[in-house]
Chains A and B, each alone.
Chain A
Amino acid sequence: MSTSLLWVFAGCALIGMGSAAVGSFAFLRKRSLVGDAVAHSLLPGVVLAFLLFQQKELWILFVGALLSGALSMWSIEFISKNSKLSSDAAIAISLSIFFSLGIVLLTYAQQSGLPNQSGLQHFLFGKAAAMLPEDVFLFAGINALIFGCIILLYPQLKLFTFDPAFAKSIGLPSRWINFCLSFLTVLAIASGIQAVGVVLMAAFIFTPPAAARFWTSRLSHMIVLSVVIGLLSAVGGAGISYSASGMPTGPWIIICMSLLAFFTFAFAPKRGFYSRWRRGWRHSRKMKEENVLKTLYHLREREGREEFGHSSLMALRGFDARELEQSIDSLMRKGLIGKKGSAKLHLSAQGLEEARRIVRLHRLWELYLNTRLSLPQDHVHADAEAIEHIITPEVEAALIRDLNYPLSDPHASEIPGIADMKKDE
């Protein structure tokens, strides 16, 4: 690997890390769109700096970018504070004005015939290959500032981000904290002008935190994870764009970032689609099994016998034949039902207990709807069919107490188990 490639990787990594870190706060403050407007607004500053100094050294252009980014951020706040426009509108106005001004200036500069104007268009979509050691030092300095502030001011930033009114009420210098966060955001975004380009830079601010949020509910973990995602995608994207020469860097980095984000949305624990789908599936399996137990209980109650074939189950409740088979297998494995002969099913002692619990919840809920919410008798069954599967023991106890140990439901069927509870008291 050549040393110049190492500089490119180091530079991209620093840009990805710093922006993902400040981005976490912008994301939580719902200010991601402001980041997008600021990124687009860097362009006129970059081109103006070039026209003024006729040089393409990064730090000169960087200062230009910083100034126009800050101006755009300030103009958004000014518009939304001093007009009746919503902040969305203020963001859109600022973005379109600054970006069109930037494009006009860019076109002008390209037609100006200035000797070193070629390559200016790379500021739109980024070209990491041009990165020099001194650029990387600049990014390292920016990162030191960003991480230094976050570590030093962490409790204040957290408090301010969560509840700005409370922060102000205890006397935190909110204006100063707000300024500090805004300044760091502009700084991080401006650091991407060369490698990522103004069009896509905002994704660095909001994609990594959004993905990281799926994995954790702790702010500190979220920031660290977000930084890791920013780092991996910046290095990955830079690598791809470098090996397929001529490709702009920005889009490749964003593609890597989005792939990581999609992976996260799909597979993150708890919040991810897969785990939500799995929970849904588990619940529906549990529901089907509980319905089988309940139906066996109803049959017992109705006919006074212990053993029933599949057909009696099917007759009482419209099971899907294959699902019924699966539920029965699973219940037998758990020892909740037993099978005698070829197809005679009966509830085991443990299964009977469980069935009584489900029927009890069903009838308690029916009674509750009927007496407390005055729903008519014939309207309560459908709701109870769903609720019986989710009532927890605590809610059950509260229901029983609230209804004062009822012995029968609105349809005058016995609520199993209540009579014994009364005796225990």
Chain B
Amino acid sequence: MIALEAHNLTVRYNKQPVLWNVDFSIPAGSLAGIIGPNGSGKTTLLKAAMGILGSDSGYVRFFGKELDAVREKVSYVPQRQSVDWDFPASVMDVVLMGRYRAGKLLGRLSKTDREIAAEALEQVGLYPLRKQHISELSGGQQQRTFIARSLAQQADIFLMDEPFAGIDAASEESIISLLQSLRSSGKTVILVHHDLHTAIEFFDHVVLLNTRLVAAGPKTETLSVENLNATYGGQLTVLNKIAELVRKQEYPLREKNTKD
């Protein structure tokens, strides 16, 4: 089954195309990476998929349906830097936001909602910090707060914008294992990632993007030197590292190469 299908998607800012005829699909139950350099349109792709930005042509479908029909099954995690973390709210407040639904506009949250939010916090290891004010969180904790909010939505497909940007290795590791457990429980996780150094070994499906679609498909078929070259242009240092990885056709596991 196809979890997400982008068909001929074009998005422009002031007539300038930022996404151009992008066409790909991601099978359900995969952990997929949308990869491309800065400014390649990854954020734009997610926003267009979620209907936050209008598209000029084409469409995105989830499980073969329009977003509105399956909205409660789709969870979106914006880039962490897109909000003001000095906003007067506690960690719990933010996670509870995952329990609001457009359908129950005026309804207050129930006890079950609070339990679900508490459980989500437990899963990301932030339950002890639930009463903390969000401006006191570290970058990694902010990211985990966002992920907890997303878990609280109890969706089937997760779209995450750069969940690893600016966080330390320990937070990254705990997020990765969380995402893997989501995948093994049958959910689809799609995340935007601009860096080829880290985390790439965990994807089983990749979409290489640079305004146009460069390649999409299972990781082992898609990560070729030509494709990476087309995606990352002149960034040779990155390329060499990855070329080496591809040559070996074997991605080292994080547990083995300890950090520092």
Contacts and interface: CB of A to CB of B under 8 A. Distances in A.
Verify that A and B bind, or say they do not: yes
Interface of A: 28, 30, 84, 152, 155-156, 158-159, 161-163, 165-166, 168-173, 213, 216-219, 221-222, 372
Contacts of A216: 88
B102 A165 contact: no
Report the interface size class on chain B.
20 to 34
B83 A162 contact: yes
A169 B50 contact: yes
Contacts of A372: 260
Given A169-B52, A171-B68, A218-B88, A159 B82 contact: no
Contacts of B100: 155-156, 159, 170, 172
A166 B88 contact: no
Interface stretch (B17-25, B89-97, B121-129): B89-97
21 contacts: A152-B106, A155-B109, A159-B97, A162-B83, A162-B84, A162-B89, A162-B94, A165-B47, A165-B50, A166-B97, A168-B52, A169-B74, A169-B78, A170-B102, A171-B68, A171-B103, A173-B102, A218-B88, A218-B90, A219-B88, A221-B88
Contacts of B75: 169
A31 B173 CA distance: 38
A54 B100 CA distance: 50
What 8 pairs between A and B have smallest CB-CB spacing?
A171-B102, A169-B76, A217-B133, A169-B50, A165-B78, A219-B88, A168-B52, A163-B83
B183 interface: no
Q: A162, A169, A216: which has the most chain B beta carbons within 10 Å?
A: A169
A62 B13 CA distance: 38
Contacts of B71: 170-171
A156 B88 contact: no
A166 B88 CA distance: 17
Interface string B25-68: 00000000000000000000001001110000000000000001
B251 interface: no
Nearest to B50: A169
B254 interface: no
B63 to A, nearest CB: 17
Contacts of A170: 71, 100-102, 153
